[in-house]
Amino acid sequence: MMNITPTVKQLLIINIIFFIGSQIVGDETYNYLSLFFFENDKFQGWQPLTHMFMHGGIAHIAFNMFALYSFGSALEHFWGGKKFLFFYISCGLGAALLHTGVNYFLFHDGLNTLLQAGFNKTDIYTLLNEGKIDTQWTDVLGASGIDRFAGSFASPAVGASGAIYGLLVAFAFMFPNAELALLFIPVPIKARYFVPGLLVVDLFLGVSGKSIFGGASGIAHFAHIGGALVGFLMMWYWKKNQFNKNRWD
């Protein structure tokens, strides 16, 4: 197994510090550092960056940090620290961008429907920023519609998953025949098939709004897709230019 590389080690430490700090301080850290919808009063300009160092629980951070160590160290070994960090942060920001774009569509689709039904725009924003909804909205939007509408405005995003998905794409580009496996799929699958398959599942779950176990999903699937998309575009450009001479340092 490859030794941990310097930048990956620093990212692991930062993520762990953020997680421990958030558990000690409590909800206030999530209110300031999670990624809120940009029309929400809780949104701050630093959140597209800070949200990727926040995690919702032990399992969440453990999975992401294991993936960061497993795939990140291999990539940093070939690229160098500066190029790896640029790629990692870019994928995380791409995840935030697509996640926000999808939320914008979901929120304004519901908002326009409510406005057409005669509800007041200012009253809608006021209630949402107070963490409330008008029960009459459900009569117009339906149960699933109100979940998408209110959730896209009020639910914050946290986690390094978008950046991690970018690393997965990069790994599949550089090591397409490496065999990967999930706990519930113990048969090894080559990276060139494993990563696209994982993205197809994420896309399906994101569009359907369901989890793999049924019911509503609390996972930001489109953040995963956004990180993977940025990773793909960067890898495609770098491969076209021979990975920009690989290392930057």
Nearest alpha carbon to residue 32 among 156, 153, 159, 132: 156
Q: What mean pLDDT do residues 52-65 have?
A: 94
* Number of domains forming the structure of the chain: 1
Tell me whether residue 62 is in a domain. yes
pLDDT at 211 over 60: no
- 249 in any annotated domain: no
CA dist 216 and 235 (Å) reads 33
- In the chain, the percentage of residues whose pLDDT exceeds 70 is 90
Q: Give the model's pLDDT for residue 182.
A: 62
The whole domain housing 185 covers 6-238
Other residues' Cβ atoms within 10 Å of the Cβ of residue 4: 14
Q: From the CB of residue 30, how many other CB atoms can be counted at a distance below 10 Å?
A: 17
Q: Which residues contact 37 (CB under 8 A, 6 or more apart)?
A: 43, 100, 103, 104, 107, 152, 153, 154
Task: Specify the pLDDT at position 67.
Answer: 92
With both helix axes pointing from N to C terminus, report the angle between 6-25 and 81-116 in degrees, rounded to the nearest 10: 40
* CATH code of 17's domain: 1.20.1540.10
